[in-house]
Structure 1
């Protein structure tokens, strides 16, 4: 019996310390610990048997794979299963890396599923004070000139200020793209996303590094990214956290990283989806085929017009100036406009049983997430997970990924309560009482194979659809966000 399985989309990256999908699902060597995530789908007319899947190989030997087996249940026609393999990308090289996944059944039937993942390489150039992101098509440099962030907090020991995890909004930056080409138009990054996605990658990775720096006391993210712009040079912001006084530990990473991810997302919103400043600039400054473009500079100023809230149509005012430097002249083009967030959601629902006896081993959690028109997201449209925080005053958190294998519009996951309670007991932490649950969702890039680059570039994944944290631009105090659900754990 032939296995009628396929990969439903390009595999995407999730940064393991924070749980966040990276911009457009692109992997980057600056962040060592990432997972490769992809939905396997049954494309046949009948059910497939139970199987196991593993990563057979990658064309980049610098990527270290945890090649354990993932059990795939029997799949009905059209049904999905989300697979995730943790990897180390510290020694990865930029490029389109070929990925081979082998699926086999107990009866010996096998199938090889092939895909490509996009890998960039970001580092910080200390002498030039620039972030540098390398992709196969060129080198992208970004110099941050103005930021907004939380008010500075004096260090209790009297020495300077505390290292804060953000969120940081890049308000003004200058980018230089070095990719010599002849004629009017240059290549796109990976022949797919707009170059603005590379700017978004830099903003997101440097924000994640700032979170790790502040919460773990590390100056870099083990890959050469430093927190250069964690000094407020523009108006202050604030982070909406679910706790008036968040506890120390992993919980601070989620709160800060999600809010910082939304702040970095303002770069993507401001630079537009259907076409970005680099392509618009090339279109507005045509040159003959025998004139060579040596580099392109885009200077950007971003002003968020409302609080940055996932799934809400907030606006960003943007001024940008494009300069094409050729072997003959400098050609320029400038734009001032307002852009709106287009990754929208309606009112979501998160369901968890309550009360639950402490001796229950597993708990099922469900979420329904509509778009702004009321239609439910389903299946491969979203990467969704839940942050579960034990009773107030207890450090740490747990995360579970939700999925919708039957494309019913209900994302489900199983929370191993017994394991969580066991860990809390070992730490001598409390576990009876109200556990708070917070929902997070990002969209997945579903560009069909074979699209022309400029069409594929219009499909962009990683946009925040639902998040319990947002960036308040004018708040003095940190507003409290209510949990999406509460699960009360009681004695058996």
Structure 2
């Protein structure tokens, strides 16, 4: 028999389970112990596969402890990519690029193994210096002098419109507006450029990891209590105007989607670092290009001081602009070199509208479902593995259910890889939880949609090319960030269903 034609074609990525969001560029960080290893596994054949099992065989770092789980699919359509996940404890993970082995088997075939790397970093907070460090094999990035827009009066309070914005204390979103980044390469290097982190993303991605990890640890602590992360996030941020406002789901009683929404808002806000520091090449790379060292010198350290002004609120899929100034310093064994830039940068992780389809009414205990088409800015559709996306189904009395949105041709999805992402909720199963909290299935359900792009760069791509492809940016979101406290709570349902 031949091997099962199922393959993981791109790097698995990290999902934080409390908020359900993908970490920046899918990178795993051991500051958060509990993470999910997520991957898309694709049917490479022209025929459907039956009785498919998929399991995580091993992880190359003994410090990573996955929870055993076997995924079963009665059928996988031709060309379909299935989203599979495994919970794992990363508390003792080492920074690096360990291999992950995933096995799949279908009727009529022998098992087939997919081996891919994952990226693991280590973020820590130093209370004495109010600084964060993110360590990878190639060196350590220290971030200090953080500046940002802190949550406004509408965060967790009742606004002028009488609506309460429910979010966990300290959960953000903080929109960064400045920071100092110091890179200590391991080892010191000759010539213009040192090794990129993981030989893939720009250095700025580590700064984004720090910003989001700091926010997520606070959110996790609010949701689950202490002991879920390995460092204190008591660091302060220098506040700049204007303050930021955001609103969570009203009436959330036990599904706790406020943590999902707080995580989404923090991730969207933190991306301001990426926009200010450019995607084509970040300040470290550009600074290196402008400061060639003398012959025989080794670069032992680098530093970037950056500040920027948000010209517009940073929102998912929107080409918002920032005015940014940054100064790069190269410290070598013989001298110190500097280069400064002032420019305007615009978010390039943009998207078009979202088309949503849902039944206006269903009978009690029939499934609820939603379909969505996420448009790119040029009008074409994201499809298949392009996105990691999910929906929140909110019951009439406030209980919430987070469900993956997938383009795999199963369930209510009309066809694999066709640009239609679908999610469904079994009311029969949901009813048990609703009863526990004294709620009912009857009435109007609201649906909120979210989508992040996925880094699909093929293994072996040259580092300076791979670094320009970054995943984990929200291209669609039901929550918006605003600098205007007079606006209504900016969380909008994209669809609703009446259950009768």
Q: TM tier, shorter chain?
A: over 0.9
Tell me, yes or no, if structure 1 residue 202 matches structure 2 residue 207: no
Name the structure 2 match of 1:466: 476
Distance 1:432 1:374, change over 3 A: same
Query: What is the DSSP-based 3-state SS (H/G/I as helix, E as strand, rest coil) of the residue aligned with 1:260?
Result: helix
Q: CA deviation at 1:358?
A: 2.3
1:61 counterpart = 2:62: yes
Contact 1:209/1:227 (CA < 8 Å) preserved in 2? no
Match of 1:191 in 2: 199
Q: How does 1:83-162 map to 2 (within 5 A)?
A: 83-106=84-107, 109-151=110-152
Evaluate the alpha carbon distance shift between residue 249 and residue 217 of structure 1 in structure 2; reply closer, same or farther with a 3 A threshold: farther
Deviates more, 1:222-231 or 1:410-419: 222-231
1:231 to partner: Cα distance: 6.8
Structure 2 equivalent of residue 403 of structure 1: 406
Q: Is the 8 A contact 1:57 1:100 kept in 2?
A: yes
| Cα distance between partner residues in 2 of 1:84 and 1:359 | 28
TM-score normalized by the length of structure 2: 0.91
| 2:451 aligned to which of 441, 444, 468 | 441
Q: Does 1:418 align with 2:424?
A: no
Summarize the Cα distance change of 1:200–1:333 in structure 2 as closer, same or farther, 3 Å threshold: same
Distance in 1 of aligned mates of 2:156 and 2:469: 44
The CA distance in 2 between the partners of 1:153 and 1:77, in whole Å, is 49
- Deviations 1:409-445, CA, capped at 9 Å, x for gaps: 1011231222222101012134321111100000000
Q: 1:380 and 1:155, CA in 2 relative to 1: closer, same or farther beyond 3 A?
A: closer
1:305-332 Cα deviation digits (max 9, x unpaired): 1122211111122111111111111101
Matches within 5 A, 1:185-264: 185-215=193-223, 218=226, 221-229=228-236, 232-243=239-250, 250-264=256-270
Q: With the length of structure 1 as denominator, give the TM-score of the two structures.
A: 0.92
The RMSD of aligned alpha carbons is: 2.2
Q: How does 1:278-357 map to 2 (within 5 A)?
A: 278-357=284-363
CA–CA separation in structure 1 for the residues paired with 2:430 and 2:295: 63
Q: Does 1:269 align with 2:272?
A: no
Report SS of the residue matched to 2:258.
helix
SS, match of residue 212 in structure 1:
helix
- State the match for 1:383 in structure 2: 388
The number of residues matched between the two structures is 480
8 Å contact kept, 1:184–1:289: no
Per-residue deviation, residues 18-54 of structure 1 (Å, max 9, x unmatched): 0101100111111122111111112234443432011
Q: Is the 8 A contact 1:167 1:259 kept in 2?
A: yes
Structure 2 Cα separation of the partners of residues 353 and 233 of structure 1: 45
Matched residue of 2:325: which SS? Answer: strand
CA shift in 2, pair 1:252/1:76, >3 Å: closer
Does the C-alpha gap of structure 1 residues 380 and 387 become closer, same or farther in structure 2, counting only changes over 3 Å?
same
Name the counterpart of 2:5: 4
Report what 1:373 is aligned to.
Answer: 378
Hey, what's the Cα distance between the residues in 2 that align with 1:87 and 1:154? 32
Contact persistence 2:427–2:441 (CA under 8 A): no
Distance in 2 of aligned mates of 1:354 and 1:327: 69
Runs of at least 5 residues in structure 1 that lack an aligned partner in the other structure:
157-161
Q: Is the 8 A contact 1:56 1:100 kept in 2?
A: yes
